[in-house]
Amino acid sequence: MPNLEHPAYPAATLLHLESLVPCRESQVSMLLSIFGERQQFTFPSIFIYGHTSSGKTYVMQTLLNTLELPHVFVNCVEYFTSRLLLEEILIQLQSCCSETEQTSHVPCDTFNDFVRLFKQAVLSRELQDQTLYIVLDRAEQLREMEANILPAFLRLQELTDRNVTVVLLSEIVWELFRPNIGCFEPFTLYFPDYSIGHLQKILSQNHPPEYSADFYAAYINILLGVFYMVCRDLKELQHLAALNFSKYCEPVVRGEANERDTRKLWKNIEPHLKKAMQTVYLREISSSQWERLQCDNGEPGQLKGLSAHTHVELPYYSKFLLIAAYLASYNPVRTDKRFFLKHHGKIRKTNFMKKHEKTSNHLLGPKPFPLDRLLAILYSIVDNRVAPTANIFSQITSLVTLQLLSMVGHNDQLDGPRYKCTVSLDFIRAIARTVNFDIIKYLYDFL
């Protein structure tokens, strides 16, 4: 592990810095060597990219704060227009450069004004030619602002003729930022993702004091075993670790097992973690609901996630309308004759059907259909006679409002309204089961 060393900063500060940034020592030492001494120039712009929660923001903030380098830190999602962004930078500059507490609001509309005000602000004696760092977090938002903002920030050192470096932090790679006519290329630095060893090390640091470090490390191992294949995001894993630890400790608390009884602890926690993957991980239920569930030692069947709320009890004809709409969306038109007429005769496989057999309609998505076809299919699948009353039509409209059907095309179309069915196969099978209708028999893809 490289020991951080730099002639410009005292060794004690560097040691403290090293303790704050586990598993990121090589990145910090590279940044330190690039920054150089306080008055020295460095790259006019630096672009740091890496996965979310790989420590970019944390390391930059810790580095700049610990070494007390003059800096301005702005999040581009929080200040999402150019005006907000530039004004915030100027406000932070005031508090960074001078010792006075008050900061007056300076209106700054354009980048031209910004350069002028920036040059004035930096002239104060506090800085004494030290490099000023402007850190823009979530820099991918800069692409959404005016076209001159990103290239101008990359050249800020040249435009203002001062010792300033702009650091951009983002998840997206630089190639997707580059403007068409080119710009001043920044120095790109990659923050690698944490390996499984690093994740274990960092997660194990948060162990609560009542239990031993080994016990917690074994828990983290189990947690990573279940979740590592799906998610390597440190923040998510920290959240899951914190939520589920009390459940893991339950056998020990209840006295059924001691800390070393790994098999019992594993058997206790494993189904719980699998359940967590389907619910808390997907944000189907909130963390507080999850904790309540653990306390009640609850029956997992009672769990009502967010997607459960989409199951709505529909009236009888609405169910058939929905089934008819599903059939109309996913069956090609020429097969209607075969499914819905009593005497249909043989259907000859034409060239068209042979060529397109591979791509089933279930992969391509629902197709739009006219209202007449919907009603025709409806009359054939419902046993008793259905009259085309306003009742039926209003049920169609309420299905559209529930977003189970969606209207395609403009409201005042001359041919009549066209719809498409936006429910999934599992949903429609559940509905069909409640009315004892075997929908699979009527679907072309399942022939």
Partner 1 sequence: MSKRKSKESSGANGECISQVQKILRERFCHRCATGKLFGIEHQYRHLLELLKRTIVHGESNSALIIGPRGSGKTALLNHVLKELTEMKQVRENLLEVHLNGLLQTNDKVALKEITRQLHLENVVGDKVFGSFAENLAFLLEALRKGDRTSSCPVLFILDEFDLFVHHKNQTLLYNLFDISQSAQTPVTVIGLTCRQDILELLEKRVKSRFSHRQIYLTNSFDFKQYIRIFKEQLSLPAGFPDESFAQKWNKNVQHLSEDKTVQDMLQNLFRHTKDLRSLHSLLMLAVSNVTVHHPLITASDLHEASKQSRMDSKANIVHGLSVLEICLIIAMKHLNDVYEGEPFNFQMVYNEFQKFIQRKAHCMYNFEKPVVMKAFEHLLQLELVRPIERPSVRAQREYLLMKLLLDNNQIMDALQAYPNCPTDVKQWAASSLSWL
CB 86 within 8 A of CB 146: no
Q: Do 285 and 306 form a contact (C-beta atoms < 8 A)?
A: yes
Asked if residue 408 binds partner 1 (CB under 8 A), the reply is yes
Instruction: Report which residue type is found at 83.
Output: R
Q: Is 262 in the site for partner 1 (CB under 8 A)?
A: no
- Which position among 24, 48, 50, 326 is part of the footprint of partner 1 (CB under 8 A)? 50
CB atoms inside a 10 Å sphere around CB 224: 17
Confirm or reject binding of residue 446 to partner 1 (CB under 8 A). no
CA-to-CA dists, residue 145 to 79, 112, 113, 142, 149, angstroms: 11, 15, 17, 5, 7
In the complex with partner 1, which residue's Cβ is closer, 232 or 319?
232
Residues in 263-282 that interact with partner 1 by CB under 8 A: 277-278, 281-282
Should residue 368 be labelled a site residue for partner 1 when binding is judged by CB under 8 A? no
Site string for partner 1, 193-232 (x = CB under 8 A): x-xx-------------------------------xxxxx
Which residue from 13, 21, 38, 43 is in contact with partner 1, where contact means CB under 8 A? 43
The answer to whether residue 310 forms part of the interface with partner 1 (CB under 8 A) is no
* Tokens of residue 200, six digits: 């274990």
Write the binding mask 118 to 147 for partner 1: x where contact by CB under 8 A, - elsewhere. Answer: ----------------------------x-
Stretch that binds partner 1, among 182-190, 209-217, 246-254, 410-418 (CB under 8 A): 182-190
Which listed range, 13-21, 97-105, 149-157, 372-380, lies at the site for partner 1 (CB under 8 A)? 149-157
C-alpha span between 21 and 23 (Å, rounded) = 6
Compute the least distance from the CB of residue 232 to partner 1, in Å: 5
Q: Which lies closer to partner 1 via its Cβ, residue 232 or residue 247?
A: 232
Q: Interface with partner 1 by CB under 8 A: which range of 65-73, 156-164, 249-257, 435-443?
A: 156-164
For residue 219, the surrounding DSSP H or E stretch is: helix 213-227
Contact call for residues 323 and 406 (beta carbons, < 8 A): no
Burial-class residue 347 by CB neighbours within 10 Å (0-12, 13-18, 19+). exposed
How is residue 74 written in tokens? 């702005």
Q: Radius of gyration over alpha carbons of the chain, in Å? A: 31
Beta pairing partners, 48 = 169, 189
Binding to partner 1 by residue 174, rule CB under 8 A? Answer: yes
Residue 59-98 contact track with partner 1, rule CB under 8 A, x = bound: ----------------------------------------
Q: How far is CA 326 from the centre of its chain?
A: 31
The DSSP H or E segment spanning 431 is helix 425-434
Count how many Cα atoms sit within 13 Å of the Cα of residue 245 in the half-sphere of its side chain: 20
Q: What's the min distance (Å) between Cβ of 222 and partner 1?
A: 15
Our CB check for partner 1 shows the closer of 230 and 347 to be 230
CB 14 within 8 A of CB 68: no
Stretch that binds partner 1, among 202-210, 263-271, 357-365, 390-398 (CB under 8 A): 357-365
By CB under 8 A, the count of residues binding partner 1 is 67
CA 145 to chain centre: 22
In the bound state with partner 1, the residue whose beta carbon lies nearer, of 95 and 307, is 307
Asked if 261 interacts with partner 1 (CB under 8 A), we say no
CB atoms within 10 A of CB 186: 20
Q: Which residues bind partner 1 (CB under 8 A)?
A: 5, 7, 33-34, 36-37, 39-44, 49-51, 54, 110-112, 115, 146, 148, 151-152, 155, 157-159, 163, 171-176, 181-185, 187-188, 190, 192-193, 195-196, 228-232, 277-278, 281-282, 284, 307, 362-366, 406-408, 422
